[in-house]
Amino acid sequence: MKTYDSTHIKNIAVAGHGGSGKTSLVEALLYKSGTTDRLGKIADGNTVSDYTAEEIRRKCSVYTSLSCFERDGFKINLLDTPGLFDYEAGMVEGINAAGCVMITVSAKSGVKVGTHKAYDYAEENGKPRMFVVTKLDDDNANFNNVLTQLKTEFGPTVCPVIVPVIANRKVVSYVNLIEMKCYKYENGNAVETDMPTAAVAENMEYRIDGLVEAVSEAVAETDEELMEKFFGGEAFTQKELIDGIHKGMNEGKITPVVCCSAADLSGIDMLLKEISLLLPAPSDNDVKMAEDAKGEPVEVKCDSSAPLSAFVFKTVADPFVGKMSFIKVHSGVLKTNKDVVNATTGSTEKVGKLMTLIGKKQIEVTEANCGDIVVATKMNVNTNDTICDASRVVKFPAIRFPIPTYAMAVKAKGQGDEAKISGAIARLLEEDKTLRYEQNPDTLEMILVTLGGLHLDSVAGKLHDTFGVDIDTAAPKIAYKETIRKKVKVQGRHKKQSGGHGQFGDVWIEFEPCISDELIFEERVFGGAVPKNFFPAVEKGLQECVKKGVLAGFPVVGLKAILVDGSYHPVDSSEMAFKIAASIAFKDGIPKAEPMLLEPIDNLTVIVPDENTGDVIGELNKRRGRVLGMNPAAKKGLTEVVAEVPEAEMADFTMTLRQMTQGRGSYSMELARYDQLPGNLVATVIANNKID
């Protein structure tokens, strides 16, 4: 494959709701462009994009895949992103690297939550957008309803460019509103036909006129001269329409709508034509903000003569090739074996072998111009790293990934596999920035945090398929704690005689509540009742005891221990004897000090659609939560609910919130404090956690 400059490259992320036809569309584009010689199907597990064992098994996209084809003098990079919410990281990676986003909408099911998520993320990142209405071959397809829905939900920027002609609920042809030509399809090939009349489809002439008027009005708003021409009643030329839509997309003023069917290939050739004519090249939006070595903001232009700067937007742990780094080149030229600086770590790296991909097919290249997307192998770089020329060190802002909230405790199924699990998950953490893996310091469990149940299943599947490791998962243990409510004074006496030296230690200790996470130890012994050299032994004995309380074996907090009296034997007393005496005092005294269980209480912030606010508040009340307030969220139509909730009640909240809000809700949670566990739950917690 030859090297293309930035004016002849198109980087397109294909995004949308799960099941809206993204992978099938990519398959059709690759086939129709002549890149592949067969049309793969998701059901058969032989598509170019969904090639991993996990994707073939699930029959859906799990990871963002890169494919490319050459057409009309352009290199088109397609980033097929997942649509399911558990794999949202893939959508974020793909849109971040792309120059434009094609959002698929099923003509059967219409606009869904995933449509909005893709549109909102593209808009937030300043990416031009195009809607592709898919599955027009379906018996229940309704393009007109979908177009109305798009206009209603996304506003006046929505501008139809290719529309179907429908008769008797079937698509008979397609009208290109830029060319003002109509095409019908025979065996996937376009044949020009007459423009539709009312005899073909009811009111079609009126609709075509109205749609042409809408396109012209949208184009007129991109330029003052075109606006004057529009109000003068003159029709725009085909070039003016193309240039106007192209400019309008770059400015976010126009979102074109095209339609097609990937199954029978109708409309695919027209979509290929619009990709070449309308979608922006990297040179159109040639400024990317970064920061220099001093942390000052700097503009990086898409200029092949400038020093190299490139961004790693995705990492794959491939069992055969090794680490694969997906790189978007923002300036200069990336070349194999070139020495570059990793601006994130400050280290110097050598560029590995460079490849462009068509799914899993690898095509080796020697260099990549600014604006292009390539894959480098065996480089010591990670997602969100910036690599650049030493003559100009710049760092691009990191991608903000969704925060994982679905936590599960994991352990190896096989004996001795714990080390293998840690190594394998470390590799996955490089690849997936929506994973978190950490040890709970209180329960000592290893906790894996994901975006949801499907995400967790996919991680387990990859651990098995790629690294040969199997894991068991379970709900994490709650890190309860114990404390006391009243002051007590107890004696701890240890006396043992067994031929020769015996053991003797005798202490009087006052236990009282205090505000501290650590044991506070004091000594107020008068007259040498306990020699000073035994004080550390007494404290050590108590420190070991507070690790496991008397109720259910949880750590004891909020405890102050004061050594006030005792006695010793000049021969039989030892540090061990006083340590044991202190533990006896603890075990006798704490049950008399009204011990109680404490549970972790978390600060919770939930972002929900306005219409779901009442449902979420009701759900939090069921979970013993306390709602502190509500605030308007940054985005219109969303509300921020702030609450305090017991951690023990939140294990499945990720899944509940997703079902309740159809995937539009999100939340974050962090530990606030510990509160007394309600009395009606104490017996259950003790029974479930009591250590014999």
d(CA 279, CA 285): 11
Asked if pLDDT for residue 318 goes beyond 60, the answer is: yes
Quote the pLDDT of residue 416. Answer: 66
For 75-111, what is each residue's pLDDT tens digit? 999 999 999 999 999 999 999 999 999 999 999 999 9
Q: What are phi and psi of 361, to 5 degrees?
A: -75, 130
Which range among 153-167, 192-206, 401-415 shows the weakest confidence by mean pLDDT?
A: 192-206
Cα–Cα distance, 122 to 102 (Å, whole number):
10
Measure CA 494 to chain center.
58
| Whether the predicted pLDDT of 611 surpasses 70 | yes
Q: What is the mean pLDDT of residues 557-581?
A: 91
Q: Which of 71, 62, 73, 83 is nearest to 30 (CA)?
A: 71
Mean pLDDT calculated for residue range 247-275: 93
| pLDDT reported for residue 466 | 84
Flag whether pLDDT at 18 surpasses 50.
yes
202 band by pLDDT with thresholds 50, 70 and 90: low
Find the mean pLDDT for residues 307-323.
88
Tokens of 176: 């290109």
Residue 17 has pLDDT above 60, yes or no: yes
pLDDT of residue 169: 79
Out of 414-428, 452-466, 574-588, least confident range:
414-428
Q: Which range, of 389-403, 493-507, 538-552, averages the lowest pLDDT?
A: 493-507
pLDDT tens-place string over residues 618-628: 999 999 999 99
Please measure the distance between the N-terminal and C-terminal CA atoms of the chain and give it in whole angstroms.
Answer: 69
How far, in Å, CA of 689 to CA of 482, rounded?
13
Q: Which two tokens stand for residue 438?
A: 């950490």
- CA gap 589, 595 in Å, rounded: 10
> Does residue 166 carry a pLDDT above 90?
no
Instruction: Name the pLDDT band for 692 (thresholds 50, 70, 90).
Output: very low
The most confident of the ranges 51-55, 460-464, 588-592 is 588-592
Question: DSSP for 484-525?
Answer: ESS-EEEEEEEEE--SSS-EEEEEEEEEEE-S-SS-EEEE--
pLDDT, greater one: 71 or 168: 71
pLDDT value of residue 213: 86
State the pLDDT at residue 93. Answer: 96
Whole-number average pLDDT of the chain: 91
Helix (H) or strand (E) holding 252: none
Whether 489 has a pLDDT exceeding 80, the answer reads yes
- Amino acid 208: pLDDT: 78
**Tokens standing for residue 6:** 């930035």
What average pLDDT score do residues 511-531 get? 90
Quote the pTM value.
Answer: 0.88
Inform me whether the pLDDT recorded for 205 exceeds 70.
Answer: no
On the question of pLDDT at 119 being above 70, the answer is: yes
**pLDDT greater than 90 at residue 414:** no
Sheet of 287-292: strand order equals: 297-301, 287-292, 394-395
pLDDT grade for 634, boundaries at 50, 70 and 90:
confident
Position of tokens 């002609």?
Answer: 165
Q: Which H helix or E strand runs over 109?
A: none
**Percent of the chain having pLDDT more than 70?**
98
- Partners of 136 in the β-ladder: none
The phi, psi pair for 413, rounded to 5°, reads -75, -40
Cα gap 207→442, rounded to integer Å: 67
Instruction: Report the pLDDT averaged over residues 290-294.
Output: 89
Residue with the bigger pLDDT between 265 and 529: it is: 265
Q: Domains of the chain (ranges plus CATH)?
A: 6-278 (3.40.50.300), 287-395 (2.40.30.10), 406-474 (3.30.70.870), 482-593 (3.30.230.10), 598-689 (3.30.70.240)
